[in-house]
Amino acid sequence: MFALWPFLVLYSTTRGKLIEQPEEWGSIRLATIAATFAMSLPSVALLVGAPLDMVSPARDAGQGTGFLCLFFMLLLWIPGVIGWLIGRGIAWMLHL
């Protein structure tokens, strides 16, 4: 659950923005979709890399997956912020 804290922050931020600015629901919705997509992309690397690392015949099998999970947990907010800004920018260009 700790690895998914950026998704929880995204939810609370989106909810707060919708309460403050209900007239901008289209822009906030697009920003939320873009941020969720951007934060979901790194999980594909984890999904593909984890099984390969865990079945490795090396003595330290699974250690790379642990480092990848830690990296994922600490830095997942960065693509989320970038996705949010891109979504708001697209909504601004489309006048949503």
pLDDT tens digits, residue range 39-96?
888 777 777 777 777 777 766 666 777 777 777 778 888 888 999 899 889 988 988 6
Name every residue whose Cβ is closer than 8 Å to that of residue 82 and which is 6 or more positions away in sequence. Answer: 38
**Cβ proximity of 37 and 83 under 8 Å:** yes
Q: What does the block give as tokens for 94?
A: 């489309």
- Stretch among 20-24, 34-38, 47-51, 91-95 having the lowest mean pLDDT: 47-51
What whole-number distance in Å separates Cα of residue 22 and Cα of residue 10?
A: 17
Look at residue 86 in the predicted model and tell me its pLDDT: 92
